[in-house]
Amino acid sequence: MIAMALSSSPKLLIADEPTTALDVTIQAQIMDLLLEIKQKTNTAIILITHDLGVVASVADRVAVMYAGKIVETGTAKNIFYHPSHPYTRALLKSLPDTDMDRSIRLVSIPGTPPDLLCPPIGCGFASRCSNCMKICQTDLPPEFVTEAGHVAACWLHHEDCPVKLEEVNN
């Protein structure tokens, strides 16, 4: 599939879940191949994946999606070390850590994802968010620049938000 995709020398390669259902060794080989292709052909790659380990190891920029909408974008460093959207924070907290005490349970995100056949009004993450405010349930949040090159679509970043970002659980 990769060879077919590259046969016309595209400027952009979209790789949708290229390592799903592959063992770790084959995953690494596929990712190494994609990175080699990127360097040799100067092809940009959009990588669509649920594997945050892959994202952390290869991505320059990251877009986090929830309920069909992009909720946060930034550099991989921004996203992994300074997440600005409650979903991104919850997602990162739910990942196992190799240094983690085995007796500590992983944190799960409460509730269930919304039905996208009947999408919610307002923020798609509102029903699962511990920082949900009334406006979150009625109005879709715009994008707020949290730092240079880092954007989050969350009302917590509005200048009139009653909740101070320092008070929000990291």
Residue ranges covered by each domain of the chain? 1-59, 61-95+105-170
Residue 169: per-residue pLDDT:
55
User: Using an 8 Å Cβ cutoff, are 122 and 139 in contact?
Assistant: yes
pLDDT of 165 higher than 70: no
Residue 157: per-residue pLDDT:
93
Mapping DSSP to helix (H, G, I), strand (E, B) and coil, where does residue 35 land?
A: helix
Most confident of 52-56, 68-72, 156-160: 68-72
- State which fold the 1-59 domain adopts: Rossmann fold (3.40.50)
Which tokens go with 45?
A: 């790659």
Residue 105: per-residue pLDDT:
74
Pair type for strands 12-16 and 44-48: parallel
Most confident of 1-10, 33-42, 67-76, 92-101: 67-76
| Amino acid sitting at position 20 | T
d(C-alpha 155, C-alpha 26), whole Å: 41
Please measure the distance between the N-terminal and C-terminal CA atoms of the chain and give it in whole angstroms. Answer: 40
User: Using an 8 Å Cβ cutoff, are 64 and 87 in contact?
Assistant: yes
Average pLDDT, the chain: 89
d(C-alpha 76, C-alpha 99), whole Å: 21
User: Using an 8 Å Cβ cutoff, are 66 and 87 in contact?
Assistant: yes
